[in-house]
Chains A and B, each alone.
Chain A
Amino acid sequence: MKRLATLFAFALVLGLAVGGAQAKEWKTVRIGVEGAYPPFSWVDPDGTLKGFDIDIAFALCKKMGAKCTLVQQDWDGMIPALLARKFDAIIASMSITDKRKKKVAFTNPYYNTPAKFARRKGSGIEISKAGLKGKTVGVQRATTHDDFITGEFGDEVTIKRYATQDDAYLDAEAGRVDLLLADSVAMADGFLNTPAGKDWEFVGPGFNDPKYFGHGAGIAVRKQTNDLREMFNKALDGIVKDGTYARIMHKYFDFNIYVKPLG
């Protein structure tokens, strides 16, 4: 019995030593991405992850001198997976909100774009309490758009929640929802400018209220890994300064999506 106890204690210490050693040097960083949110992240037919989020992730890692591995994770399980240490950072267009800050820590925002409604062309739906009454709105579950529509118009509309934004587009195309609410850029590239979304158009103003939408999209890390957070912030400043950010941004957008005007 005593032998067993010492063996167990030895294994515990060894395990803790191995486990603990990882935190100091960030030579490899595992990054959680979604892969279902064009143009920020999607999966090519041959299986490779592509998109703005992906490119930014690799650029930041290069700047930090670390090797990055991408881990695809569906949106619902994103934060639990980070906390469970499946990966070390989330680069998935995750908005910085107080609700999320309770569980994770964020870097400075790496882009900020407003949310917008989209409606079927010719439906004439107006964005107001009266105009939205009785309508069905499709949003991705557990996003800031979900919070906004629930908080602001929850009594007026029927909300349909989807596991991915792509699923919402599918139902929109099939005519199952009257409106979509999502990130304006994602919706433009992922739906409105594609053949599937040809019958849909933007309507109404852009929404940016920090109460629901936070302060832009940031990189989420576990609260304990503050050193990683600082490394990301420094790297972000670095790629903005040396033009890498601008280059990546212009690959996807011909307007500015960073939080400040780029020099």
Chain B
Amino acid sequence: MDFEIILDSLPLYVHGLWMTVQLVGLALLFGICLAIPIALLHTVRNPLVWVFPWAYIYFFRGTPLLVQMFMIYHGAGQFRAPLEAWGLWPIFREAYWCAIIAFTLNTAAYTAEIIRGAIEQTPFGEIEAARAFGMSRLTMARRIVLPSAFRRALPAYGNEVIFMLHGSAVASVITLVDLLGAGRIVNSDYHAPFESYVTAGAFYLGCTFAIVAVFKQWEKRWHAYLRPRVEKPPARAPV
């Protein structure tokens, strides 16, 4: 294990780390914004309404992220003429935005399912009370359903964030220099697969631990009301 290679390449890895953070961060942000309306639409009774979110979720959860990304990145080339006509080509030209679009669509599907599951577990009494107050569906969603749904969804969403982090590694396949992209450059330059990929793996491991720690903090805070009451044991009396 040649540590000199790793030390020399650290700036490249840090650059890659920043790219990974951008890709994952933006994808999660846009993904949540997209997931909430999709989840809400899914809970509507009318089949003509929920069939669309259902199909979207089915497609993006049933196919690999790599294929979704290829569909957008390589596929955009096939539709260059209409994209240019609509002025969208500058976006699809960049691998960066193609990756973010693919990641966003993917995480939105999983997140929507998580949120929908959490919404459906809202205690019915709260819904009844909201209706008794005369709240509209939108107000009820905003004030009652969603806040408690987010709380319930926290552990599952933490998992999803980690999956998104790991999934983002495929961005390196379309020339983006994220953490894995940095690893591939180091591997080709020094012919050192161990050093290059183990370092990349170590960075990802560190990020994963960080995310787990953050979510543990949040769970501690927002699930405080779920913790069982613990009686403090009486102080030991001196012998």
Give how many A-B residue pairs fall within 8 Å (CB-CB). 36
Which one of A142, A162, A173 lies within 8 Å of B175 (CB-CB)?
A162
Q: Is B77 engaged at the interface, CB distance under 8 Å to the other chain?
A: yes
Residue numbers in B under 8 Å from A141 (CB-CB): 184-185, 188
Residue numbers in A under 8 Å from B76 (CB-CB): 174
Known: A83-B191, A174-B76. 20 other contacts (CB 8 A): A76-B184, A76-B188, A79-B191, A80-B193, A103-B191, A141-B184, A142-B189, A160-B175, A161-B175, A161-B177, A161-B185, A170-B77, A171-B175, A173-B77, A174-B74, A174-B77, A175-B77, A175-B93, A176-B93, A176-B94
The chain A residue sitting closest to B175, CB to CB, is: A160
Q: Is B40 engaged at the interface, CB distance under 8 Å to the other chain?
A: no
Residue numbers in B under 8 Å from A161 (CB-CB): 175, 177, 185
- The A interface, classified by DSSP as helix, strand, loop or mixed, is mixed
A147 to chain B: closest CB distance in Å? 9
Residue numbers in A under 8 Å from B89 (CB-CB): 175
Residue numbers in B under 8 Å from A162 (CB-CB): 175
Residue numbers in B under 8 Å from A175 (CB-CB): 77, 80, 89, 93
Interface string of B76-95 (1 = CB under 8 A from A): 11001000000001000111
Interchain CA distance A162-B175 in the complex, whole Å: 6
30 contacts between A and B (CB under 8 A): A76-B184, A76-B187, A76-B188, A80-B191, A83-B191, A103-B191, A141-B184, A141-B185, A141-B188, A142-B188, A142-B189, A160-B175, A161-B175, A161-B177, A161-B185, A162-B175, A170-B74, A170-B77, A171-B175, A173-B77, A174-B74, A174-B77, A174-B80, A174-B93, A175-B77, A175-B80, A175-B89, A175-B93, A176-B94, A176-B95
B:166-202 near A, CB below 8 Å = 175, 177, 184-185, 187-189, 191, 193
B94 to chain A: closest CB distance in Å? 8
A120 to chain B: closest CB distance in Å? 13
Interchain CA distance A173-B188 in the complex, whole Å: 25
Residue numbers in A under 8 Å from B177 (CB-CB): 161
Residue numbers in A under 8 Å from B184 (CB-CB): 76, 141
Interchain CA distance A217-B93 in the complex, whole Å: 34
The chain A residue sitting closest to B188, CB to CB, is: A142
The chain B residue sitting closest to A171, CB to CB, is: B175
The chain B residue sitting closest to A76, CB to CB, is: B188
Interchain CA distance A50-B56 in the complex, whole Å: 44
Interface string of B93-122 (1 = CB under 8 A from A): 111000000000000000000000000000
Residue numbers in B under 8 Å from A174 (CB-CB): 74, 76-77, 80, 93
Interchain CA distance A19-B89 in the complex, whole Å: 58
Interchain CA distance A174-B78 in the complex, whole Å: 8
A:130-161 near B, CB below 8 Å = 141-142, 160-161
B:213-237 near A, CB below 8 Å = none
Residue numbers in A under 8 Å from B189 (CB-CB): 142
Interchain CA distance A162-B189 in the complex, whole Å: 14
Residue numbers in B under 8 Å from A79 (CB-CB): 191
Interchain CA distance A79-B95 in the complex, whole Å: 29
A239 to chain B: closest CB distance in Å? 30
Interchain CA distance A174-B77 in the complex, whole Å: 5
B181 to chain A: closest CB distance in Å? 8
Residue numbers in B under 8 Å from A173 (CB-CB): 77
A102 to chain B: closest CB distance in Å? 9
Interface string of A165-179 (1 = CB under 8 A from B): 000001101111000
A262 to chain B: closest CB distance in Å? 34
Interchain CA distance A76-B183 in the complex, whole Å: 12
Residue numbers in B under 8 Å from A170 (CB-CB): 74, 77
Residue numbers in A under 8 Å from B94 (CB-CB): 176
Residue numbers in A under 8 Å from B188 (CB-CB): 76, 141-142
Residue numbers in A under 8 Å from B74 (CB-CB): 170, 174
Interchain CA distance A101-B154 in the complex, whole Å: 54
A121 to chain B: closest CB distance in Å? 16
A:81-113 near B, CB below 8 Å = 83, 103
Interchain CA distance A234-B94 in the complex, whole Å: 49
Interchain CA distance A161-B183 in the complex, whole Å: 13
Most A C-beta atoms less than 10 A away, residue of B77, B94, B184, B188: B188
Residue numbers in A under 8 Å from B187 (CB-CB): 76
A81 to chain B: closest CB distance in Å? 10
Interchain CA distance A176-B89 in the complex, whole Å: 10
Residue numbers in A under 8 Å from B175 (CB-CB): 160-162, 171
